[in-house]
């Protein structure tokens, strides 16, 4: 079903990776692809907000999603323009509402995300009012999504050193974003959802990274009721998920997974014995 993806990594975009040569453990020359990192400065109206390190694709979605997940863009804000200037690596998001976040910008937290994410103000701001819908989750969807996402073409398989996040509905992947930081990949999805007017209550967020407090908060603020990952959990991530009613699934490998929040929403419709175990070793392109 991966052909139904509305947005997916563009493996032909030469700006996203670079060819480099090196010497391997046998002393032999190897030519490989590595992902690019470039700065992107985000403005909200006339105010500079942050400079993020990113691979450089979908800058407009990244900027809008970052501002939305920082609660600097409100759900009912009207975005009038999003201007990206590639030469100066800047995105300006303009809204009908006048904005001023000088006080909020004085307090920032470095998160545990790869490429070091940053949030402004109190990380828990707005979560007290969040109560996610009790959307049922079929185990057959989890197994289907894990298989599709782990085998679809990606920059990770091409070059590594990158995280992916996928917005799904039931067992259908819809939007696949990658970046050097998993928080960036999620922000791109948030930006796409806001600009396209996409609903959240029937969605699943799949990520390749750890289920940290930052990832849980971003997913909850987006209104998505389920977050799943191949990777593990942090204690605070689990605590927040239980607070807001987020179904939290981790360590999804083959037929195995563990649910640490929202287990009452699971519908056990899959025959576990019919699900294949994941191979112990993945083969990356050009590597063993």
Mean pLDDT value of segment 223-228: 97
Q: How sure is the predictor about 286, in pLDDT bands with cuts at 50, 70 and 90?
A: very low
Q: How sure is the predictor about 259, in pLDDT bands with cuts at 50, 70 and 90?
A: very high
Task: Say if 234 falls within a structural domain.
Answer: yes
Task: Say if 74 falls within a structural domain.
Answer: yes
Task: Specify the pLDDT at position 213.
Answer: 92
Examine the domain organization and report whether 256 and 192 are in the same domain.
yes
Supply the pTM of this predicted model: 0.87
Task: Specify the pLDDT at position 281.
Answer: 52
Domain final residue pick, 69, 89, 124: 124
Task: Specify the pLDDT at position 190.
Answer: 97
Q: How sure is the predictor about 284, in pLDDT bands with cuts at 50, 70 and 90?
A: very low
Q: Which two tokens stand for residue 288?
A: 């063993």
Determine contact, residues 175/6, Cβ cutoff 8 Å: yes
Examine the domain organization and report whether 113 and 145 are in the same domain.
no
Domain final residue pick, 124, 146, 178: 124
170 by DSSP, 3-state: which? coil
Q: Which domain holds residue 75?
A: 38-124
Examine the domain organization and report whether 141 and 197 are in the same domain.
yes
Examine the domain organization and report whether 67 and 182 are in the same domain.
no
Q: The domain that contains 76 carries what CATH number?
A: 3.10.20.10
Examine the domain organization and report whether 143 and 269 are in the same domain.
yes
| Domains identified in the chain, total number | 2
Q: The domain that contains 210 carries what CATH number?
A: 3.40.140.10
Task: Say if 288 falls within a structural domain.
Answer: no
Task: Say if 20 falls within a structural domain.
Answer: no
| pLDDT 10s digits, 88-105 | 999 999 999 999 888 888
Domain final residue pick, 90, 124, 158: 124
To the nearest 10 degrees (0 to 180), the angle between helices 235-244 and 213-221 is 20
Examine the domain organization and report whether 58 and 167 are in the same domain.
no
| pLDDT 10s digits, 58-82 | 999 999 999 999 889 998 999 999 9
| pLDDT 10s digits, 104-153 | 887 665 454 544 455 555 556 667 778 899 999 999 999 999 999 988 88
Beta strands of the chain (E only): which ranges?
17-23, 29-35, 38-44, 47-54, 79-85, 90-95, 108-110, 118-120, 137-138, 163-169, 172-179, 203-207, 226-229, 247-253, 256-261, 266-267
CA 190 – CA 95 distance, rounded (Å): 17
| pLDDT 10s digits, 156-197 | 767 666 889 999 999 999 999 999 988 899 999 999 999 999
């Amino acid at each position: 079903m991966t052909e139904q993806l509305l947005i997916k990594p563009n493996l032909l975009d030469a700006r996203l990776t670079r060819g480099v040569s090196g010497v391997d453990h046998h002393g032999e020359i190897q030519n490989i692809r590595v992902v690019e990192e470039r700065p992107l400065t985000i403005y909200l109206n006339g105010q500079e907000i942050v400079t993020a390190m990113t691979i450089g694709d979908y800058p407009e979605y990244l900027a809008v999603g970052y501002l939305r997940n920082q609660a600097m863009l409100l759900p009912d804000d009207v975005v009038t323009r999003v201007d990206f200037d590639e030469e100066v690596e800047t995105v300006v998001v303009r809204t009908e509402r006048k904005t001023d976040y000088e006080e909020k910008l004085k307090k920032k937290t470095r998160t545990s995300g790869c490429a070091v994410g940053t949030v402004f103000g109190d990380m828990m701001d707005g979560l007290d009012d969040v109560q996610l819908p009790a959307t049922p989750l079929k185990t057959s969807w989890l197994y289907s999504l894990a298989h599709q996402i782990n085998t679809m073409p990606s920059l990770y398989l091409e070059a590594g050193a990158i995280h992916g996040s996928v917005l799904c509905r039931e067992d259908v992947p819809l939007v696949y974003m990658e970046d050097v930081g998993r928080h960036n990949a999620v922000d791109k999805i948030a930006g796409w959802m806001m600009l396209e007017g996409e609903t959240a209550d029937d969605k699943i967020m799949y990520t390749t990274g750890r289920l940290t407090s930052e990832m849980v908060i971003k997913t909850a603020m987006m209104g998505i009721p389920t977050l799943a990952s191949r990777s593990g959990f942090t204690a605070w991530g689990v605590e927040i998920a239980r607070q807001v009613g987020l179904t939290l699934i981790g360590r999804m490998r083959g037929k195995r997974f563990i649910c640490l929040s929202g287990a009452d929403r699971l519908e056990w419709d899959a025959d576990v014995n019919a699900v294949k175990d994941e191979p112990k070793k993945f083969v990356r392109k050009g590597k063993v």
